[in-house]
Amino acid sequence: MHLTPDQIIFWQSENGFIKINATIVSTWALMFFMVVGSMLITSRLSTGIERSSWQNFLEIIVTSINKQIEDVGLRQPERYIGFLGTLFLFVAMAALATIIPYYEPPTGSLSTTLALALSVFIAVPYFGIEDQGLGRYLKSYLEPTAIMLPFNIISEVSRTLALAVRLFGNMMSGTMIIAILLTIAPLIFPLFMTLLGLLTGMVQAYIFSILAGVYIAAATLTRSNSSPKVES
């Protein structure tokens, strides 16, 4: 039983420094499928009145994601749908692909979930600086007082680690439970747990993208520096 796909090694150099494991293979295969799939799906989109049922389905998904982004407090959701939508689709597709025999989801590796969390860690100040400017964004770390600076920095780092560990723990636990039940009842429980794993993966994809949106919304929140004027 493998705890993570990192333990499945397909090739490694003589000194063992360079390794190609199941995490790398499944990640690149998933990215290739998503890129090629998106090119094929969007190649025949129509801007006219008559549209195919497939395009209507895609527009429903995009509209739903835009609505969720707007609900977390982000203005102009079209600015963030590229990043947040990609996060959601990657985690969701990684979970859905588990129905393929011998497929190991890359989100079962801490290195993958940490990379996803680091992308959020970079995106938060990027969108914050883009929205507020460098000076105003850095000033937010000194609020409400300068003594809060180290605590605000620790908060940024800790929530990044929390994102990575939460996603890794939930995805890995599902894999471990299925592996254990395979040894107990190889015909009954695995099918049920696989379906439950698909549901868990979709929920985790939703939670991960929503939390990323909340963190970005907190960074792009415009703070009023001027006090209200009192009219005489």
pLDDT beyond 80 at 231: no
Q: Per the domain annotation, does 9 fall within a domain?
A: yes
What kind and span of H or E run contains 76? none
Binning pLDDT at 50, 70 and 90, where does residue 40 land? Answer: confident
Mean local confidence (pLDDT), 27-55: 82
pLDDT of residue 187: 58
pLDDT digits (tens, 9 = 90+) for 61-104: 888 888 888 888 787 888 888 888 888 889 888 888 877 777 78
Q: Per the domain annotation, does 214 fall within a domain?
A: yes
Q: Per the domain annotation, does 226 fall within a domain?
A: no
Q: Per the domain annotation, does 58 fall within a domain?
A: yes
Distance CA 134, CA 128 (A): 8
Distance CA 169, CA 108 (A): 8
What kind and span of H or E run contains 89? helix 81-96
Number of structural domains in the chain: 1
Give the domain extent around 164.
Answer: 5-42+54-220
Is pTM beyond 0.85? Reply is no
Give the sign of the dihedral formed by CA 153, CA 154, CA 157, CA 162: negative
Of 27-41, 80-94, 185-199, the one with minimum mean pLDDT is: 185-199
Distance CA 127, CA 220 (A): 6
Q: Per the domain annotation, does 140 fall within a domain?
A: yes
Q: Per the domain annotation, does 229 fall within a domain?
A: no
Q: Per the domain annotation, does 227 fall within a domain?
A: no
Q: Per the domain annotation, does 173 fall within a domain?
A: yes
